[in-house]
Each structure stands twice: as structure tokens, then as C-alpha cells.
A and B are shown apart, each in its own frame.
Chain A
């Protein structure tokens, strides 16, 4: 018997999943910890329940379903497209609220019609929540990393800066720090005269040879993770980045973009207007955005309840495009969260690129909302 009871509306959710032609999967509660820490980062370590087996391998209690479902998909070498559904307990260390609770959701793997698949994920989560909470008005917040990437690219920043900004997308503190550095670049300090000499001459081969020789002398080379060529390349890149200064107008544009927040129905026009006024070519990202809005409209979801927030994202490197959250209007608790993670399956070891989008429902929060007036 589980310690926490399955919520009474679990059956309704399973019905909804069946009617959406999904395959129900279950995954073991005890999972190898490495994939979670590898994908989500070490920050997760203090939020999961870790243990070890006799052979010293790290194991954890399942903290979420997306990674186990994707791993299972790769192991069973099932073809795509495939829609998986899950419902079960997850375990997380939390300051407030229970540490074991139920989650349910759908992972949509391998559908190459991405706009339609994105729209379906949002529409499914909204429809299921509407059935569970028929009297509550829902609000959806939507973000799109690929639009941000397009803006950063169109501003003509060096690749290194683009990477930094994209990496930080969704983390406002980090973005703010980067924007400040971009406004006032700092020189590269503390290089040995020989190294800065070679760098100034632009003699990349001599620099690599110098690094290589030093590594040999210090006995580093045999086990070194970063090669002399890699260090030399990034040193050059760093020098270029340090000399990059984003002019005031471009910085204002970035800030203006990040502050965009408006009903999704108006977002396409606003983004097009922004691109025109700024003289930026956002072509493909915007047309994909528009396609998604159109696909959403054709699912029958009320676009009026969806807000587009340009700065909304998740700072994890496997999220690639859409992210969204659903809550009861005016309440902070996120009842459903989802997004597109096109990079996750290859990171987990899939041999081919598999586009993927999904969402997950927080059943304990939904339960609380059902009991609230």
C-alpha cells in the first residue's frame, strides 16, 4: 500500500489519457540517479532521495517521469511517433508540502509536426484540468526559447555571447548580469606574457604548441580532458568576447524584448512589429511561432486565457522551444507544466534526433484546488 493515497480523480485522468490514444507506461520507482543529475544538474541532488546499492552505484527514488519514460523508449527501441502517458508517485525533498506525491502526464515523442504537437500538449493539459476543475478559470503562461535565440542571433553578437545568453534564458538574475557585462566589457586579466604575446600575434599554432609543451612538462597531457587546441580556441574566443560591447540601442532592444508580456492572440503581431521596428530578421522563429498559435486556435483552446511572456524559459540545456505552465487564474500554484525538449533523447543516448514535447500534472496541487472554494 502506498503511504499516500492515489487521488480519487486519478481514474478520470486515466480515461482522458486513453481517449487521447496514448500508451500507458510505468517505470520503476527506484532509478539510477546519474541520468537525472546529468540532465538537470547537480542542483537536483539536494532535492531527490539518493541511495546507493552494494556496488556503490547511485540510485534515487523517481523524482519525475520524463527521463525514465524517455530512457525506456530508447531501451525498448520502439519506433516513433509514440505518445506515452504515465500516472504514479514521484519523490522529492521539499521544504513545504508532501515529499511524495502523484504526477500524471503525456510525453509525445517523435512527432515531426512540431507546431501541432506543441498545441496538442497545451490543449490536452487545459482540457484535463478543465474537466477536473470545471468551475475554475485557468490561465496559461507561454514562453518560447527559439524566439529569444532568434533575437540574440539577429543582433549579430559573437557566437560565444549568444551561447551565454541562451544558456541563461529563463534565469532573470543571470541574464541581467550578462547584460551588464555586455554594456561594460572587462579585459582578460592575468595572462603570462608569453601567452598574451602569442595571442596578440594571432599565432594559433604556436599557442597550441606552447600549451602542449607545458602540459607535457607538468605531466598533464595523458589525462587532460581539455586539449591544447580547445584551450587555445576558447582563449581566442574569450579575447573576442571581452572586446565585444553591445551598443546602447541593441541593449535596449534586448531588454524591450525580454519585457514583452501580452495575450497570445496579440503576440504574433507584436513580435512582427518588434522585429520591424528593430530591423531584426526573425523570419523562421516567428513563422513557427505563428504556426503554433494557429494550431492552438484550431484545437479550440481559448487563446484569451494564454499569456505570452518573452522572458519565460527553463535554464536547462535540453529545453529547446515551447515552455508553458497552467494555473488557476490569479493563483501562484502551477497545476501543469510542460515544454519541448528536442535535445533530451539524444543526450540520453538515442541514436537519431527525436523531437519531443510533453506536460505533467501536479495531482496534489489539483487536489488542493478541488477542495478549495
Chain B
């Protein structure tokens, strides 16, 4: 290394966030979202409903990935907030709040409820956190069953949406889902780019080391936990709007966690784009193989195991790692300041690969 670079490393490297590719893909994402707005008008009710289901899966996967991939928090209890979002919307609607407003408020309420819960479960680590969140989900399910006005254990419908015609209703639900997806993706995006995002990744890699250099571990985890609860609450309320009927057993069911884990593992744990890719893959696989019943679920579990063991970065993470692709600028790259100092062979090994995050 040259003397000048030793004295002043910043002259040798510059930090890069945006690349030509990420400009292009961000523009592409904006164009895609704009195009998605017109789906109900162009493609009809059936496809709109299917896309709504897909977007709900995207929300769930992004939220679970935010917890596990960036916070190192493996939750098997996010169904708590899915259920709270759905039943919260029913409850608020029963109190006279218009249905779509009730859904938004219920998602926020799920986040508010997650705050005291986080005081309990964030004391736990690893597997204890995983089952701890699950116990919390069971508690909420049992409490909801006790309330007869919420249908007890038999389920309940959101009847007030009947004032809209089916195609209008589906379009409104879709637009709300699209809005929530974009909002939550943006929230995760900006969270990761913030100082807190760097803290979170430090915690994920080594919690004790992060704490020892002054990273506010608890606060960072709590922000993430509450955001994930809001997102899952929104997904629950939107599932209710999409299917019009919910049942305690299924909306608080641990199968949601199985879906989220599968999607994120296949797509790419700890990558921004992975869960989106995984959700699309999951949706296609489910449509193709769901008829096989239990065998399909056996395959789903086995695939999750295989990805965890053999392809831990998932599909997207593997592609990204190999080709240094990053469609959206959530990380940093160190680039040699090429104009002044052309990289010298053998000194800077794979400069483009020196990417963090």
C-alpha cells in the first residue's frame, strides 16, 4: 500500500451507496408500483384478489426478515399480531369505526400492544425468544376465544364491507394492501439505512460485542419488534378484508410462522430483496402443489431445512453474493477512489465485494 493511502485511507476509498444498477432498479421499482396501482381496473377481480394475497405474503415475509435477518430475532409468534390485527379490525368496526379505517387503526394497535410484550420477550434470546413469542401468541388466541362478541372460537365475518360491490371492495382492499406494502417496505428501507440499521446488523452479528461498543441493543430490538408487529397486524387486518371471514384457530395459527420462515429462507435471509422473491416463489409453489395436502407441507418443511443448511443466504443472497448485485441501496460499498488511484492488482482483493450489510 502506498504511503499516502496509509496516512489517509479516505483518499484511497470512498463509500458508495448508490450504483448505476441501484438507480435503475429503484426507478424500476417505482415504475412497477405505479403499474400495480392500475391492476384492479385492467385485470379484473380474480387477479386482484390473488395479488392481494401475494402482497400480504410480501408484508409478512419482509417483517419476519426484518426481525430475523437484521435483528437476529427468530420469532415463531408473529401470528399474535396477525390475529390481533384481524380481530382488532373486527372489534373497532363493531364500535362503529368504518371498516377500512378500522384496519389501519388495528395495525397500529398491534404495534402498541407489542410494546409491553417486548418488555417480556426481548429479555429472552435465541430459542427462548422463539418459544416465548409463541406463548404470547397462544395467550392472545385464548383471550380472543373467551370473548363471545368476537365469535368465540367459531369465527366471525366482517359484514360491514357488504355495502360495497364485490369488485369495488376487492379494489379498495387491494389498494390498501398495496399502500401498506409500499409503506412498510419503505419503513424497513429507511430503517436499514439509518444509524439504527447499522446497530441492528451489529447486534445480529454479535450482540455482546455490539453492546460493548455502545450500541443501544434493547432500543434497536424494540423498534424492530414494534415495527414487525405493526406490519403483521396490517397483514392480519388485510387478510380479513381479503377473505371476509376469520377463525381464531387459523388466524392465530403457527402455520403463519412456517410460511414466513419458508419464504425468507428460500428468498434470502437478511437481504432486502429476498423476501419479496421468496413470497412470489412461495405463492407459485402453493398454487401448484397445495392439492397434495400433507405431502406438500412435508416438502415445505424439508425445503426450509435444506435451505437453512445448504443455502443459508437463500436464492437472492446467493445471486447477490456471486454477482455483487444489490438492487436497492440498503448497504454500503467501499470503492477504490479510481480516478486518483487506479486499483493495483493484488493489493485490493475484490474491491467491489467489500460490501457491508
Check if A and B associate.
Answer: no
